[in-house]
A = this chain, B = another copy of it.
Amino acid sequence: MTGKPLQIGLAGLGTVGTGVYETLCRNHDLLEARTQISFAVKKVAVHNLSRKREVEIDPALLTDDWHELVNDPEIDIIIELIGGTQTAYQLVRAALLAHKPVVTGNKALLAEFGSELFKLSAETKTPLYFEASCGGGIPIIQSLQNSLICNNVQRIAGIINGTSNYILSSMEKKGVSYADALAAAQRKGYAEADPTLDVNGWDAAHKALILAMLAYGTPVAPENISVYGIERIAAMDFRFAHDLGYTIKLLVVIRHHEENDALELRVQPSFVKKEHLLASVNGVFNAIAVRGDIVGETIFYGRGAGKNPTASAVIGDVMLAMRDCRHPEFHSGFRTYTKQLTVLPQEDTVTPYYVRFLVKDTPGVIATIATEFAKNGIGISGTTSTPHAAEDEDAPTDSNDLVFMLHACPWGKLKQALRAIGESDCIEPHPVVFRIETLNEA
């Protein structure tokens, strides 16, 4: 063991905070043996001192004022697990200014204030760690920062929201509707009462911004990412996908276009070939596929959320912080290092597509659609239709679902065609659109 015990200040004793405290106690000797550094939790800041806790904790450790963590000269490292962005921002900012390394798992905080906080981290030479902010227990952040450091990242494709993946997996396996799958997920505690951010893609988008920042060395603003959720996926889409050899996943895709040094950045439901490993990532599990110019394809898989998996990531960072803070003049934390990136306009991003129209069963409908695609130079690779299945959709029975598989084309062209098609009286103006992702090499 080297030196006197390092003192940790923990802010937040919710689900993850409790997991961190428990694990730091339970596996304390293992951690000291592995790091050869002794440590102790000195203070725990909570919102409500009188609340009953799931974990046994000496009341003398508790405080309801987070300033005590920052102001205590004996506290070396601060763990921020209070959630939200307002108090968390004040705490992290104050801690960095006080030269105390910070470990956080707060993706909303990083999405909103990452740019400012990483700048402050560099100015104060005080590291800010955030493994737990993306992919739960999966060591994706440290891998991008360290093991894969020599790689120009060509593409990241990932399933990084467990709730939506759980819903999509149940829809696929049980053939149920989106609403039923969501309700089941809520009953089992895999979806919150308000699941908005999980199902509309924004939770995944926040994590995508963190991955893009790591891979390309500079924070990316949320307005640069295109985000679609899973709310409009119907049971029949899975049947169509299945027949074509695909499954449907909510994918984060980050792709670097070398020819114009621009970044493609998007979150949307995507068709993934059944043989690809990402297609086999089911339930609340997450997986992130990273392709580097040197390493080729790598995939990281694990539990993307939950008390203990997230605690594992937090503690991995705390141990790194303990090592780093023995040498305050040097740290292994994230640094911005590159010029501002150009983000490719969504209109210019190119993939094949699956488009499902709800149409009236009248002559001329297919001709209308096919003509507009042709006008915009979009090739059709296949088409199929089904009389509307009254049992699982709320639509008139004289209507059809008409599916078109389209060859790769820019989104701008497709949008233009869809706008024109939507003017027909016989076609519902908002078709369901999925990208078909080409994820070869895996």
Binding site for B on A (CB under 8 A): 2, 19, 23-24, 27, 30-31, 33-36, 131, 137-139, 142-143, 146-152, 217, 275, 277, 280-281, 285, 287, 292-303, 306, 308-309, 311-313, 315-316, 319-320, 323, 326-327, 330, 332, 335, 337-338, 442
By a CB distance below 8 angstroms, the chain B residues around A34 are 149, 217, 335, 337
Give the distance to chain B from A204, nearest Cβ to Cβ, in Å: 19
Give the distance to chain B from A14, nearest Cβ to Cβ, in Å: 17
**In-complex Cβ contact of A296 among B292, B299, B302 (8 A):** B302
List the B residue with the shortest CB-CB distance to A323: B332
List the B residue with the shortest CB-CB distance to A303: B296
The answer to whether B308 and A302 touch across the interface, beta carbons within 8 angstroms, is no
By a CB distance below 8 angstroms, the chain B residues around A146 are 139, 142, 146, 316, 319-320
Give the distance to chain B from A75, nearest Cβ to Cβ, in Å: 20
The answer to whether A147 and B139 touch across the interface, beta carbons within 8 angstroms, is yes
The answer to whether B308 and A303 touch across the interface, beta carbons within 8 angstroms, is no
The answer to whether A301 and B301 touch across the interface, beta carbons within 8 angstroms, is yes
List the B residue with the shortest CB-CB distance to A30: B152
By a CB distance below 8 angstroms, the chain B residues around A280 are 275, 277, 280
Given A146-B320, A277-B277, A294-B309, 18 extra CB contacts under 8 A: A2-B330, A19-B294, A30-B152, A33-B338, A35-B149, A139-B148, A147-B312, A149-B315, A277-B280, A277-B301, A285-B297, A285-B442, A296-B308, A297-B301, A299-B299, A301-B301, A301-B442, A323-B332
Give the distance to chain B from A318, nearest Cβ to Cβ, in Å: 9
Give the distance to chain B from A61, nearest Cβ to Cβ, in Å: 20
Give the distance to chain B from A121, nearest Cβ to Cβ, in Å: 13
By a CB distance below 8 angstroms, the chain B residues around A30 are 150, 152
The answer to whether B150 and A27 touch across the interface, beta carbons within 8 angstroms, is yes
Task: Count chain B CB atoms within 10 A of each CB in A19, A24, A149, A299 and give the residue with the most.
Answer: A149
The answer to whether A295 and B137 touch across the interface, beta carbons within 8 angstroms, is yes
Q: A142-B143, A308-B295, A330-B326 are in contact. Are A150 and B277 (CB under 8 A)?
A: no
